[in-house]
Structure 1
Amino acid sequence: MRVYAIGDIHGHLDKLKAVHAFIEQDRRRMKDADAPVVHVGDLVDRGPDSAGVLGYLAEGVAAGKPWVILKGNHDRMMRRFLEPERLRDPLRPDLHWLQDNIGGRSTLASYGVDTDPARGKEAIHEDSRAAVPETHVALLDGMKTHHRMPGLYFVHAGVRPGVGFDAQVEDDLVWIREPFLSDTRDHGALVVHGHSPVALATHYGNRLNIDSAAAYGGPLSAVVIEGKGLAVSLLTETGRRPLVPVRAMVG
C-alpha cells in the first residue's frame, strides 16, 4: 500500500505545484503511477491564487488523476457564501467569510472580484456568484469529508475522540481542535489531518498533522505513507525524509 497526502494549501498554487512535482519524482522512483494523492482540505483563502488552486485541482480530477479532495472549513465557508442567499457556517455563525482573519476577500480577489468593503456584501456576493466558474463550484460540491484506507483515516481537522468513524459528524471533521489534539488514545487508525498549523509536519503516533502553515509563510507539506507498518516520509526536493512518532523520539 502506498498513498500520498498534501496539507492545507490556502491559495498557494506555486507551493501546490511544487509538492506535486515531489510526488511525481517519488512515483518515478517507486514505479507507482496509481497511488492516490489525498488533499486534506482548506484549498482556499489567505493565499494569492485560490482561483488557480481550484482550477488546477478541477482539471486534474477531470483528467482522471487519482486525486482525493477533502473538505476544509474554509472550503465549506466559501461554498456557503456562494449560495443564492449568503449562508454562514453552521458551527461558527459568529464568523463571516469576508472578515479579515478568514481570507475570503483574497480568494475573491483572485477571481477579479472587487472586494472593497464600501461596495457592501450584497454587491460582492452578486459579483462572486458570477465570477466563480461552475467547474470550481462543482469541485467544492464534490469534496469528501473523509477518506479511509487500511489503517488510515484522512480528514481535514480531526475526529471526536471516543466516537467511531461511522458516527463522526461533519462539523467536527472540518473544525475540531480540542479535545482531539491533546488526546493520545488509539483512534483505531492513524488519523491524517491538517487545520491546526505546526512548524513542520509532525507524527504523534495516533495522528499525523501535515498542516505546516503554508497560509502564514510556511512550507506546504506532502507525505508518503506505505507498507503494513504505515511508514511515513516527508517529500522534499532531495527525496524522502522519514517522520517518526515524536513519542518514540522522546521515549
Structure 2
Amino acid sequence: MRTYAIGDIHGQLSELERVHDLIERDRVACGDRDAPAVHIGDLCDRGTATAGVIDYLMQGLASGAPWVVLTGNHDRMMTAFLEPTPRTPDRLLAGLHWLDERLGGRETLASYGVDTDQPIEALHADAVARVPARHVDFLNDLPVTYERGECFFCHAGVRPGIPLADQVEDDLVWIREPFLSSTDDHGKLIVHGHTPADVATHYGNRLNIDSGAGYFRPMSAVVIEGREAWLLTEGGRAVLPRG
C-alpha cells in the first residue's frame, strides 16, 4: 500500500509545487495514479505565499486530486486570530502571539494584502475583511488525522501510551515531548512534522518529514510502502536516514 506525504509547508508555494512534481515523477515510474498524497499541516506562516498555498490546495482537491490535507498548529493559530475576537491558543508559549516575528503571522497576512504595520485593532479588522471566508472555512474544516495501512498521519505526534483512537487534538497538533524521545511502538508508524529536522528521518516507530521549510530549507516529500519510506529527489527515490 503506497502513500505519499509532504512535510510542513509554511507559505512556500514554489517548494510545494516542486515536491508535487517529484511525486508526479514517482507516480509515472511506478504506475500508481491513485495513491493519496498527505500534506502534514502548517500550510501558513513565515513564507510569503500562504494565500497562494491555500488556493493551490483547494484547487487541487476540487479537481479531484488524491490529496489529503491535515491541520497544524500554525493553521489553528491563524484561524484563532481571524475569529471576531482574536484568540491565542492555550498551548502557545507564554508571551508569544501569532503576530510575533518568530511565528510568521504577519507574513501570512501580507500575502492577502493586509497592511501589517497598523495598530492591532485595525490590523485585525483588515485581516478579517481581506482573508476570504472560503480560506477560513477550508482551514477550520481540515481533519486532524489520517490513517492508511500501517501509517497514522498527524501534524505533531501522539502521546505515548494512549491508544490512537483516544488521542486528543491538542497533542496531535502541538506535542513534542514525551513523543519525540519515545521508543514505544505506537501500533502504527506515526508520520508527522512540526519539529524541524535537518532532513526527513525514519526513527522506526515514527517518521519526521518536517525538513524546515518554515526556515527556508527544502521541503520534503516521501513515498511510504508498508513501514518503509524513501525521500523523493530529482534523481528518484533516496534512502532516508535512520534516527
Structure 1 and Structure 2 fold alike (TM over 0.5): yes
Which among 219, 227, 231 is matched to residue 228 of structure 2?
231
Q: After superposition, give the CA deviation of every residue in 1:201-242 in whole Å (9 maximum; x if it has no partner).
A: 00000000000011112110000001xx42201001111102
Preserved CA contact (<8 Å) 1:58 1:135: no
> 1:93 Cα shift?
6.8
| 1:55 maps to amino acid | D
Give, as a single letter, the amino acid of the residue that structure 1 aligns with 2:23: I
1:113 maps to which residue?
114
- Residue deviations 1:169-222 (CA, integer Å, cap 9, x gap): 111111100000000110110000000000000000000000001111211000
CA contact (8 A) 2:200 2:241 kept: no
Q: 1:125 maps to which residue? A: 124
After TM superposition, the structure 1 = structure 2 runs for residues 52-201 of structure 1, keeping only pairs within 5 Å, are 52-92=52-92, 94=94, 95-116=96-117, 119-201=118-200
1:76-105 CA-to-partner distances (Å, cap 9, x unmatched) read: 000111111111113227332111111100
TM-score by length of 1: 0.94
> How far 1:31 moved relative to its partner?
1.2
Counterpart position of 1:249: none
Give the superposition deviation at 1:244: 5.6
Correspondence for 1:43: 43
- Counterpart AA for 2:237: R
Alpha-carbon contact 1:9-1:41 (below 8 Å) kept: yes
- Deviation >3 Å, runs of 4+: none
- The separation in 2 between residues aligned to 1:65 and 1:217, in whole angstroms, is 27
SS across alignment from 1:126: helix
Asked if the contact 1:39/1:70 (under 8 Å) is kept, the reply is yes
- Count of aligned residue pairs for this structure pair: 242
How far is the alpha carbon of 1:149 from its aligned partner? 1.2
How many angstroms apart in 1 are the aligned matches of 2:133 and 2:216? 30
Where does structure 2 lack aligned partners over 5 or more consecutive residues?
none
Structure 1 position 243, deviation (Å): 2.1
Amino acid aligned to 2:19: V
1:55-83 alpha-carbon deviations (Å, 9 max, x no partner)? 10111111121111111100000011111
TM-score between the two structures when normalised by the length of structure 2: 0.97
Alignment-derived partner of residue 23 in structure 2: 23
Report the CA distance shift for 1:198/1:244 in structure 2 as closer, same or farther (over 3 A): closer
Partners of 1:150 and 1:31 in 2: how far apart?
A: 19
Matched position secondary structure for 1:136: helix
